[in-house]
Amino acid sequence: MKTIQNSDLKIGASNKHIRMSPHKIRRVINQIRGRSYEQALMILEFMPYRACNPILKLLSSAAADANHNFGLNKSDLFINGIQVDKGSFSKRLQPRAQGRGYPIHKPTCHITIVMGVISE
């Protein structure tokens, strides 16, 4: 197994245009920020929110990238930074009384995760 000399190594992954409100995803993100990869997996698997699924997929994708591209062990990774940004709105109209139309905004968001290596 390779030993990484640079402790400033950052592994990133992002997922864009997730059809979910950024407020709902931030509620889950705040629980796993700064934790190790294994702790974050355990938390995400047992939380009852729908927002956990895209975060779980992104987290495992970032860990797989670190394993495949840099030869790092998944148990040595931790979440160095994770953020959620607002995306674009899908705009729809809801028909209402007397020929009016009320706007419906369906929000999207972008998740960016940066993982680091636990230095011993």
Domain ranges of the chain: 10-93+100-117
What's the pTM value of the predicted model, to 2 decimals? 0.84
pLDDT tens-digit profile, the chain (120 residues)? 344 445 578 889 999 999 999 999 999 999 999 999 999 999 999 999 999 999 999 999 999 999 999 889 999 999 999 999 999 999 999 999 999 999 999 999 999 999 999 876
Report the DSSP beta bridge partners of residue 101. Answer: 95
pLDDT at 119: 75
Name the token pair of 4: 């990484």
Whole-number Cα distances in Å, 65 to 9, 13, 18, 47, 62: 13, 8, 21, 25, 5
**Chain Cα centroid distance, residue 82:** 7
Q: Where are the alpha helices (DSSP H) in 1-120?
A: 22-32, 37-46, 52-70
Pick the CATH number of 10-93+100-117 from 1.10.150.120, 1.10.1040.10, 3.90.470.10, 1.10.540.10: 3.90.470.10
